[in-house]
Amino acid sequence: MTETPVVELDDVTFGYTASPVVSDISLRIDAGEYLAIVGPNGSGKSTLMKLLLGLLRPDAGTARLFGEPSHTFDEGAKIGYVAQHASASKEMPITVREVVKMGRFPHVGFGRLSEEDNRIVDEAIETVGMTAFANRRVTQLSGGQRQRAFIARALAGEADLLVLDEPTVGVDAESVEAFYDLLDSLNESGITILLIEHDLHAVTDHADRVVCLNREVYFDGPTDEFVESNALARAFGTPMSLAGGAQ
């Protein structure tokens, strides 16, 4: 028996207006994969992510998460989401530990966190290397530290799938590599990683599989084949060097 895919899109088409933004997308992501979606601005990456997370419903085709239709999937804790520019809301100057505790809420409802919940929270903070900053307000963190705190929140929720949308935009260069090393170790521990990324170096250095998107899927395969195939240049008609990124 084959394992239920984490994500399964079958012939998905969607448009905000009559003309489709993504067309006939079929994509299966299995547990444990590390997949990057690349493509220039406006190629439909964020739309595809919203479709697979059930935030948008396909006009045609089906989207499934852990075997269930994405739009009715309600085990939110299974999915950790790290947005671009994870912003530090000045109105809510809460600490790293408080952010990470939120990851436990789907497990405890409105009840109090047990000792075991607090242990899981501390472990998540330690895994992302933020123990020394646990009591610091997220408004006082660097961009990279803040993204780690959001990853820890997902780990505290015991997420099986981590979805990251250009997570290192605005993160200082020295912290970027360490951030991707953290993702590598999380993937090695069994977490499925779906990364939307414009930094092709990060993709080719870390992801195992690449999906190249421009309304349709232009390439879907192992990262080394992606590099050899020059898929981005073929898809978009312009040479896109690794140094230049996909923007």
Residue 16 CB, nearest approach to ligand ADP (Å) = 3
**Cβ nearer to ligand ADP, comparing 21 with 162:** 21
Residue 11 C-beta: closest distance to ligand ADP, Å: 18
Under the binding rule (CB under 6 A), the answer on residue 16 touching ligand ADP is yes
Shortest distance (Å) from residue 188 CB to ligand ADP: 28
Name the residue nearer to ligand ADP (CB basis): 135 or 247. Answer: 247
Among residues 215, 217, 247, 246, the alpha carbon closest in space to that of 232 is found at: 246
Nearer to ligand ADP, 21 or 207 (CB): 21
Contact string 21-60 vs ligand ADP (x = CB under 6 A): x-----------------x-xxxxxxx-------------
Least Å distance, CB 41 to ligand ADP, is 4
Residue 240 beta carbon to ligand ADP: minimum distance, rounded to whole angstroms: 14
Decide: is 214 part of the binding site for ligand ADP (CB under 6 A).
no
Residues 198 and 242: beta-carbon distance below 8 Å: no
Q: How many residues belong to the site for ligand ADP (CB under 6 A)?
A: 10
Q: What are the C-alpha distances in Å from 182 to residues 110, 134, 186?
A: 31, 18, 6
Least distance between ligand ADP and beta carbon 55 (Å)? 11
Find out whether 36 and 197 touch, Cβ atoms under 8 Å.
Answer: yes
Closer CB to ligand ADP, residue 103 or residue 167? 167
DSSP tally for the chain: helices H, then strands E: 9, 10
In the complex with ligand ADP, the residue whose CB is nearer, 25 or 134, is 25
Q: Which is nearer to ligand ADP, 67 or 244 (CB)?
A: 244
Q: Are strands 68-69 and 22-29 parallel, antiparallel or unpaired?
A: unpaired
Q: How far is CA 57 from CA 12, 38, 66, in A?
A: 9, 22, 16
With vertex at residue 200, the alpha carbon angle to CA 11 and CA 150, rounded to the nearest 5 degrees, is 80
**Dihedral sign (CA 49, 50, 52, 57):** negative
SS3 content of the chain, % helix, strand, coil (to 5): 40, 25, 40
Chain positions contacting ligand ADP, by CB under 6 A: 16, 21, 39, 41-47
